[in-house]
Amino acid sequence: MTPHNDFWPGSHFSLLQRDARGWLVPTEAYVRTLLARPELALVPESCAAEIALHEGLVAAPLAPVQREQLAAVQDDDARENYTVFLRFRDGLLAAGTLEAYYLRLMRSGAVDVPAVFIDAVVQALLRNVLDASNDALEARAAEMLFRPQRITLQEGQMLAGDRDALDLLHETAGLGEVGRLLRQGGVLQPTAQVQVQVLTPDNAVVYWAESERHHFLLDLTHELTQDLSHGLTLKLTRARSGLKALARVLERWVLHMLGVQVQIEPVHQINDSAWRWHVGLDVESTAILNDLYQDRPVEAERMARLVSLFTLTFANPAEMRADVAGKPVYLGLATNAEGLVRIKPQNLLLNLPLATVS
């Protein structure tokens, strides 16, 4: 047994079961954890109908709920929260697995549940994908697929830090609620800095023990040469780059979800006059790659938001659409104007040039 078997305990992976395909089957225990979310928590003002509904679901998380039970909940927000929860729960149960639910939801083009539920599903799926991994860099890189990252440049390094964790550390100086109170009382100055570590092989063992805190930085350093044509150059300078770890995670993600084996590599240069297909891993890179593909000018400020480019190749070109078989697929990753990266992991599943969609 490896020491990281229970990383990301908040994913509640241990409460899920695998089917014969290795996909995750929702259980009563897993659904019950969702009822513990603050949006569904009982408050002193909860009416009798809400209390009865909540207690009934905690006792039997998979039991059907009648419209009359929901309608009896007096508070509009509480009633809406339970409606959304039940829509999510019933979608999971109808799909049979978390993987099937996620694919069905994303392919429908009508995402009708909040991001918090979708991120919870993605985290559980990635926990499944990485269950046998011994690489802390891969696990940390995988966090980018379900938690927004703040990108900063420090002493020549491009570093990704968990947005929520960094904001909390800034607010509390790393001292929890005590630190928050000290900041509010003026005892701690706003300029007080909290030291966070860049994840390396030397401190990887600490990551496994503290994975739920999401407080390690990931080094995504590269050198950037800007070119408004297809000749965009990105040179990696770290042998153990977090970009390579992210590439491995994306490979496993595609294989697990689509059954298609691909190889993804951060690239030194894209200079392809026969550029045929690209996929942005986020909204910003999608727009940048679209403009580059159409030979539209891209402002230097937008170009500077690019974190990395990747090439994706299919192990079996026959699994690609015939008109692009054997051609590389280019991927992009970029921040928004506020320096945040918000990866949309569904993009790789929806937008690859597959010959058939299973």
The per-residue pLDDT for range 204-250, each reduced to its tens digit, is 999 999 999 999 999 998 754 445 456 565 554 455 689 999 999 99
Averaged pLDDT of the chain: 89
Containing 155, the helix (H) or strand (E) segment is none
Select the more confidently predicted residue: 11 or 357: 11
Q: What is the pLDDT of residue 221?
A: 87
Say if CB 256 and CB 125 are below 8 A apart. yes
> How confident is residue 5, by pLDDT bands cut at 50, 70 and 90?
low
Q: Please tell me whether residue 108 adopts helix, strand or coil conformation.
A: helix
Q: Three-state DSSP class for 198?
A: strand
Q: How confident is the model at residue 175 (pLDDT cuts 50, 70, 90)?
A: very low
Quote the CA–CA distance of 278 and 262 in Å, as a whole number. Answer: 14
Q: What is the mean pLDDT of residues 175-202?
A: 57
pLDDT in tens, 101-148: 999 999 999 999 999 999 999 999 999 999 999 999 999 999 999 999
Question: What pLDDT score was predicted for residue 173?
Answer: 56
- 124, 137, 193, 196 from 183: Cα distances, Å: 35, 33, 12, 19
3-state helix, strand, coil in the chain (%, to 5): 45, 15, 40
What is the spatial distance between Cα 251 and Cα 346, in angstroms, rounded to a whole number?
A: 13
Instruction: Find the DSSP H helices in the chain.
Output: 28-34, 48-59, 67-71, 76-95, 98-108, 115-129, 136-142, 163-172, 176-184, 204-209, 242-258, 283-293, 300-303, 346-351
**Residues paired with 262 in a beta bridge:** 314
Tell me, what's the pLDDT at 191? Answer: 44
CA distance linking residue 186 with residue 36, whole number of Å:
34
**Chain CA centroid to CA 84, Å:** 21
In this prediction, residue 223 carries a pLDDT of 54
Q: What is the pLDDT of residues 43-75, one digit of tens each?
A: 999 999 999 999 999 999 999 999 999 999 999
Structure tokens at 207: 């990551």
Pair type for strands 24-25 and 232-236: unpaired
In this prediction the pTM is 0.88
